[in-house]
Amino acid sequence: MDKNLNQAQLVSVVMAVYNGETYLREAIDSILNQTFTNFECIIINDGSTDKSLSIIKSYSDNRIILINNEGNKGLIYSLNKGIDTAKGEYIARMDADDICLPNRFEEQLKTFQAQPNTIVVSSDYYLLNNTKLSLIKTNYTNYALKAILLFTPCFCHPTVMIKNLFKEKNIFYNQEFIHAEDYKLWTDLAVCGNFYNVPIPLLKYRSHPTQISTLNKNRQLQISSTIRKNYLNNLEFNLSAQQFKTLNFIGNNEFINQKSILVEIENCLSELINQNSNHKKIDTAQFNKVIFKFWLDSCGYSNLGLMAFKLFFKSSLASYDNLSLTQKSKFLVKCLIRKFKH
């Protein structure tokens, strides 16, 4: 434990559970075994019909606060109820199927202490698929994270710790944006302070086919489109109908199989750079690096082979960041592999 860390700060962990018996004990144990110990663990049992409730009740730790919903009210209702109950200066999100690494709270609190203007702190994480672990890194600054929001959520939801300004700012999870409520929350909080990502893994994020995000994919994509439109308006950006359609295409991570689609993507990304240059809403250098990333990803996520490789470097968008010789080689191999795979 860092001796300079303020031990008096209270963290409120908010975790909703609905029929989560399979992984629940592992999730709770990972919270209780944190190196930073001054927290309350608010668990909302959302009408579970399995053994979830008995698992929660089996713990005698007085830091656990159990809330029982009358029936299944849904994730958004449950999270807002947890936030309304929370007494902590910070809210740590956690899901009932994920695993906190022991130093998660300590590392995130150190960031808040060092950066008073920061209101959301996430982290790198491990993607856990059965027994396979893959490290997911997010090497982006405050401005870059906010630029990413034009396309997709900038945080992995259960990695975040948030300064508890929900009641002060009247910002909560919004029921109208069900299945993309976290994306909506980040766009709402973007105007309230800085974002930060701790560049070390602090969570194991479990991936499995019964997740809500997997089961409600189509509805999630529709709502994400509305969030993008609102965020564009907040930034005072104005895209054409075709450019906005393309923005959704990029954000939805659609596979590219036509040169004309890549041309549309280049047009859309170039217009975003122009808009940000005019309105100066997000730091130009960081914004342009994010645009570079989405241009690189778009060209790599196609079956156009050498054509995509050449289009990437032909575009002025390729000048906004640099690729090492190794990165160029990997990009070329990716283009060629996708050409022959699809």
Q: Which of 320, 266, 257, 252 is nearest to 295 (CA)?
A: 266
Which of these ranges, 160-174, 210-224, 314-328, has the smallest mean pLDDT? 210-224
Cβ pair 16, 75 in contact under 8 A: yes
Task: Report pLDDT digits (tens) over 93-141.
Answer: 999 999 999 999 999 999 999 999 999 999 999 999 888 899 999 889 9
Task: Report pLDDT digits (tens) over 34-88.
Answer: 999 999 999 999 999 999 999 999 999 999 999 999 999 999 999 999 999 999 9
pLDDT of res. 14: 98
Q: How far apart are the C-alpha atoms of 182 and 185, rounded to whole Å?
A: 5
pLDDT of res. 217: 79
pLDDT of res. 190: 97
pLDDT band for position 212 (50/70/90)? Answer: low
Which of these ranges, 146-150, 202-206, 338-342, has the smallest mean pLDDT? 338-342
3-state secondary structure 260-317: HHHHHHHHHHHHHHHHHHHHCCCCHHHHHHHHHHHHHHHHHCECCCHHHHHHHHHCHH
Which of these ranges, 14-28, 196-210, 247-261, 289-303, has the smallest mean pLDDT? 196-210
pLDDT of res. 130: 82
How far are the Cα atoms of 22, 67, 131, 173 from residue 213, in angstroms, in the given order? 18, 24, 21, 16
Residue 140 is classified by DSSP as -
pLDDT cut 70: percent of the chain above it = 96
- Which residues, in sequence order, are bridge partners of residue 135? 126
pTM of the full structure:
0.93
Average pLDDT value for the chain: 94
Task: Report pLDDT digits (tens) over 262-291.
Answer: 999 999 999 999 999 998 899 999 999 999
DSSP one-letter string for 206-232: E--TTSHHHHTHHHHHHHHHHHHHHHH
pLDDT of res. 218: 82
pLDDT band for position 90 (50/70/90)? Answer: very high
pLDDT surpassing 60 at residue 210: no
Task: Report pLDDT digits (tens) over 13-36.
Answer: 999 999 999 999 999 999 999 999
- Which residues, in sequence order, are bridge partners of residue 284? none
pLDDT of res. 113: 95
Query: Which distant-in-sequence residues (6+ apart) come within 8 Å of 137 by Cβ?
Result: 124, 199
